Chain A
Amino acid sequence: MIRCQALRWGAPGQPLTPPVNFELSTGSLTAVIGANGSGKSSLLKVIAGLQKPLTGKIFLDVSRKGSLSFLPQQQHLDRQFPISLQELVAAGFWGSKQSPDLRNQRLKTALEDWCLSGLAHRPLMALSGGELQRALLARMSLAQAPLLLLDEPHAALDELGQALLWKHIHAWHAKGRTLVVVCHDLAAVRQHIPHTLLIKSSGSVLGPSTELIRQQPLTQVA
């Protein structure tokens, strides 16, 4: 559960919206849409505790450390870093108390799930943007956090990768995890995500995706 009360965020002195109230229930799957610069990514960072809100409060029903997985937009990774894809994915086991055997098994399954088995030993430098994105998603799936925040997870993914992504998002949703997904592909949001939070400079609206996206001409929010 994520409850925001009178929340404002953005650069100091420049809040992106008027105070916002909303509640996303446990196990919900919600898209965040809005124009470039409307504050979608910052909102995820505020929820993840990586950025402080300007005013207002956020309540989570889980602790931020370990129970929350955040997938930022991927440009922040140093591609020259000397580790392999498998080592990057295995970081998802941080804090896990599982036996090495079980971990190996789960790592293998996760790599297969995200079609990465053949790339396990490649250095980051030799991965395409889509492969790296799938690796970060595989790391997320190993972490088993109940609250998942994804910032444009479909960026850099090809058609096959996107199909894989939506399959896993539905599987995570079915397991009762809470998901918040920033997404600018409105057709995909309508098709895959039941609820949508639309962020505008005049405020935000939370509602069923099919209603919210039908109301808005595509050019205004895309």
Chain B
Amino acid sequence: MLSAPQLWQPFHEFVFMRRALLGGLVLACSTAPLGVFLILRRMSLIGDAVAHGILPGAALGFWFAGLSLPALTFGGLGAGLSMAGLAAWITRRTGLREDASLAAIYPISLASGVLILGIAGKRLDLLHLLFGSALAVDGPTLTGMLWVSGFSMIAMALIYKPLLLDTLDPLFLQTVSRLGPVAHGVFLTLVVLNLVIGFQAIGALMVVGLMMLPAAASRFWSHRLPVLIAIASMLGCLSVWLGLLLSFFYSLPSGPAIVLVAGGFYLLSVVFGPVHGLLRRPILPISQ
């Protein structure tokens, strides 16, 4: 077991640990509301699809510019957005369900990414791209993460109300406002943006874990949306902190350590959560 000073000491002592912690914490806060809304919109698996889909863009960025943060970010962003956009367009034009449409596009995207990396001569480690390394967060990456997370939280606050109504009762929102599609579009863009900025730090696939696990866990703790988002952010932050400590003291890869801690919180919530947890009877909270 870790002693109390050990909970802070690595972050006090090492700059790279401080950077990884700060980056992870802001990322946890900005992905929490996205994860909660993805679940409410029944789009839980879309994060996964998009995370695979950004690979060819990041690979192309790497091919042309090497291991540069802007190139990887813009490449990933371009690939993620065009993939989500293409899937949405096919859905609108043909009536194919959105999940089926994304599920069809992302293997194409992933395969092209792997192919490009192959042609590029395997100089970039695919594992690094998919699973990342929180301990490699340098100054510019951290600055990028702070900007993106800050922007994403502000944007979420701005579209919160229309997004909520568009999720609960799109027909109603359509009769009172034109903001529904705007909120949907901004929301998807934020999902892609967070996945792209996160893949630098903890890897494309691991960000999805940080986005979805705390959000899924929070559902077992409350019936109120703002509380759900707060709980998800808190669980995400705790996972980042504990995961980094585990990774530091036991020499584990940081991304998987963070996600597995979040997974632990999820399983605990499933069992002990007061809202429909396994150990509680289904409650009808007449007095809240």
Contact = CB atoms under 8 A, between A and B. Distances in A.
B167 interface: yes
Given A123-B223, A125-B223, A126-B285, A50 B174 contact: yes
Interface stretch (B1-9, B65-73, B175-183, B263-271): B175-183
Interface in B267-286: 284-286
Interface stretch (A32-40, A79-87, A193-201): A79-87
Contacts of B224: 82-84, 123
A170 interface: no
Contacts of B94: none
Given A82-B222, A143-B176, A94 B165 contact: yes
A19 interface: no
B168 A68 contact: no
A72 B169 CA distance: 10
A81 B167 contact: yes
A31 interface: no
A179 to B, nearest CB: 15
A64 B178 CA distance: 11
B172 A65 contact: no
A91 interface: yes
B217 interface: no
B171 interface: yes
Query: B interface, by DSSP: helix, strand, loop or mixed?
Result: helix
A66 interface: yes
A77 B285 contact: no
Give the bracket for the number of chain A residues in contact with chain B: 20 to 34
Nearest to B223: A123
Query: A interface, by DSSP: helix, strand, loop or mixed?
Result: mixed
Contacts of B178: 65
A143 B168 CA distance: 17
A83 B284 contact: no
Given A82-B222, A82-B223, A126-B285, A70 B172 contact: yes
Given A65-B176, A66-B176, A94-B177, A83 B286 contact: no
Nearest to A140: B172
A126 B284 contact: yes
A72 B171 contact: yes
Interface string B36-58: 00001000000000000000000
Contact of A70 (B175, B225, B286): B175
B251 interface: no
Contact of A91 (B165, B174, B228, B288): B165
A82 B228 contact: yes
Contact of B169 (A77, A121, A143): A77
Interface of A: 48-50, 64-66, 68-70, 72, 76-78, 81-84, 88, 91, 94-95, 121-123, 125-126, 139, 143
Given A70-B171, A94-B176, A122-B288, 6 more contacts: A49-B175, A50-B175, A69-B175, A84-B288, A122-B286, A125-B284
10 contacts: A69-B175, A70-B172, A76-B169, A82-B225, A84-B224, A91-B169, A94-B173, A122-B288, A125-B284, A126-B285
